[in-house]
Amino acid sequence: MKGRIEDYRDPRLTDELLRDIREAAGRISSRTVSLMEVCGTHTMAIARYGIRSLLPDNLKLLSGPGCPVCVTPAGYVDAAVLLSRDPGVTVVTFGDLMRVPGSDSSLTSAKASGADIRVAYSPSYAIELARQHPHRKIVFLAIGFETTAPSLAWSILQAKENGLENLSFLSACKLIPPALHALASSEEVKIDGLICPGHVSAIIGTSPYAEIVRRYRIPCAVSGFEPVDVLLSVLLLCRQIAGGEARVDIEYSRSVREEGNRKALSLLQQAFEPADSAWRGLGTIPVSGLKIRPAFSAHDAEAVFGVDVPLGKDNPACRCGDVLRGVISPPECPLFRTRCSPLTPVGACMVSSEGACAAFYKYYQLEQKKGSRPHGD
Partner 1 sequence: MAIESDRILIAHGGGGTAMQELVREIFVPAFNNQFLEPLQDSAVIEELAEDRLAFTTDAYVVRPLFFPGGDIGRLAVSGTVNDLAMAGARPLYISLSVIIEEGFPVEQLRAIAHSISATAEEARVKVVTGDTKVVEKGAADGIFISTAGIGVIETDLEICSDRADDGDAVIVSGYLGDHGIAVMSKREGMDFTSEVRSDVAPLAGLVQEILDADIEIHVLRDPTRGGAAAALNEIAQSSEVGIRLHAAKIPVRPEVLSACDILGLDPLYVANEGKLIALCPLDHARKLLALMRKHPLGANAAIIGEVTSEWLGHVIMETEIGGTRIVEMPYGEQLPRIC
Instruction: For residue 370, state whether it binds partner 1 (rule: CB under 8 A).
Output: yes
Q: What is the smallest separation between the CB atom of 337 and partner 1, expressed in angstroms? A: 17
Instruction: For residue 342, state whether it binds partner 1 (rule: CB under 8 A).
Output: yes
Kindly report the number of other CB atoms within 10 A of residue 303's CB atom: 14
Going by C-alpha positions, the residue among 262, 294, 298 that lies closest to residue 275 is: 294
Main-chain dihedrals φ then ψ at residue 103, nearest 5 degrees: -65, -45
Q: In this structure, are residues 193 and 233 in contact, taking their beta carbons and an 8 Å threshold?
A: no
Instruction: For residue 371, state whether it binds partner 1 (rule: CB under 8 A).
Output: yes
Only one of the segments 22-30, 195-203, 320-328, 361-369 lies at the binding site for partner 1 (rule: CB under 8 A); that segment is 361-369
Choosing from 16, 23, 54, 287, the residue that interacts with partner 1 (CB under 8 A) is 54
Residue environment code for 328-364, b if the CB has 16+ CB neighbours within 10 A, otherwise e: eebeebebbeebbeeeebbbbbbbbebbbbbbbbeee
Going by C-alpha positions, the residue among 229, 154, 238, 173 that lies closest to residue 197 is: 229
The string of DSSP codes covering 300-363 is BHHHHTT---------TT--HHHHHTTSS-GGGSTTBTTTB-SSS--SHHHHSTTSHHHHHHHH
Q: In this structure, are residues 346 and 64 in contact, taking their beta carbons and an 8 Å threshold?
A: no
Instruction: For residue 14, state whether it binds partner 1 (rule: CB under 8 A).
Output: yes
Main-chain dihedrals φ then ψ at residue 302, nearest 5 degrees: -60, -40
Instruction: For residue 131, state whether it binds partner 1 (rule: CB under 8 A).
Output: no
Q: What is the smallest separation between the CB atom of 50 and partner 1, expressed in angstroms? A: 2
Which residues in 107-126 contact partner 1 (CB under 8 A)? 121
The H-or-E segment that residue 200 falls in is helix 198-204
Going by C-alpha positions, the residue among 75, 64, 42 that lies closest to residue 143 is: 75
Choosing from 227, 281, 289, 312, the residue that interacts with partner 1 (CB under 8 A) is 227
Q: What is the smallest separation between the CB atom of 246 and partner 1, expressed in angstroms? A: 28
Only one of the segments 64-72, 191-199, 237-245, 364-372 lies at the binding site for partner 1 (rule: CB under 8 A); that segment is 364-372
Cα separation of 249 and 222, whole Å? 6
Only one of the segments 24-32, 49-57, 252-260, 268-276 lies at the binding site for partner 1 (rule: CB under 8 A); that segment is 49-57
Q: What is the smallest separation between the CB atom of 370 and partner 1, expressed in angstroms? A: 6
Q: What is the smallest separation between the CB atom of 226 and partner 1, expressed in angstroms? A: 10
The smaller minimum CB distance to partner 1, of residues 35 and 301, is found at 35
Instruction: For residue 363, state whether it binds partner 1 (rule: CB under 8 A).
Output: yes
The H-or-E segment that residue 111 falls in is helix 107-112
The smaller minimum CB distance to partner 1, of residues 216 and 364, is found at 364
Only one of the segments 67-75, 295-303, 325-333, 359-367 lies at the binding site for partner 1 (rule: CB under 8 A); that segment is 359-367
Interface residues with partner 1 (CB under 8 A)?
9, 11, 14-15, 47-54, 121, 227, 342-343, 353, 362-363, 366, 369-374
